[in-house]
Amino acid sequence: MANDAPGSHLRSSPGPRNELTFLAAPKRPRTRNDRCVSGGMERRQRNHQGRQEALDKKTVIDTLSPQQRSERMARVRGRDTKPELTVRRALHARGFRYRLHDKRLPGKPDMVFPGRRKVVFVHGCFWHMHGGACSLSRMPKSNLEFWRPKLEGNRVRDAMKLEQLHALGWKVLVVWECELRDMESLLTRLEAFLNEDAGGTK
């Protein structure tokens, strides 16, 4: 005799003897365990989608046309950036006085302290290629033929300006954008740099 179909019930039909009729098993009520399993699958799907979205955000892709990129870069500030303004205000609040973007010096430093013969640059991590473990300085994944020489050129130019300033007898401190995440530590470093051999000058 053949095996019964799973989940079915057998009932004798009113016809000839030994004929059997298959009846579908009654629908089982949904249990709490079923809901837990279903909810777990939905959560895993949402988590997977969230991880994928986060990965997409970390991937820097340049999709601009040459004209759009040129227009966008023309709007990029070379001075008075938000990180620069933050550092300037913090130092000013502590009594330090300075000149801004002195054209007579190589690289037009962001802050010049003439009496101390010291200058401070506030660099954006992306545009000046901070590198290392800095998450703000990732090289774009596309249009490398444009971005690589552009950013490498910025880094070479920065190094040249620092050498010129040192040759003229100026001491230089570079502040990176990512350092502003810990302003207390940054200000400690800035004050130590500015007060070194300062003789009480502000």
**Tens-place pLDDT, residues 9-33:** 445 445 555 554 545 556 666 666 6
Is position 1 within any domain?
A: no
**Tens-place pLDDT, residues 143-189:** 889 999 999 999 999 999 999 999 999 999 999 999 999 999 999 99
Is position 125 within any domain?
A: yes
Count CB atoms within 10 A of the CB of residue 93: 9
The position carrying tokens 């090289």 is 139
Return d(Cα 180, Cα 84) in angstroms, integer.
10
Confidence of residue 140 (pLDDT cuts 50, 70, 90): confident
Range of the domain at 106: 76-195
Is position 50 within any domain?
A: no
Is position 54 within any domain?
A: no
What CATH number has the domain bearing residue 138?
Answer: 3.40.960.10
Asked if 47 and 62 count as a contact pair (C-beta separation under 8 A), the reply is no
In the chain, the number of structural domains is 1
**Tens-place pLDDT, residues 30-72:** 666 655 556 666 666 665 565 555 444 444 544 545 554 444 4
Return d(Cα 161, Cα 156) in angstroms, integer.
9
Asked if 109 and 195 count as a contact pair (C-beta separation under 8 A), the reply is no
The structure tokens listed for 116 are 């101390």
Asked if 96 and 202 count as a contact pair (C-beta separation under 8 A), the reply is yes
Return the SS3 of 9. strand
Is position 21 within any domain?
A: no
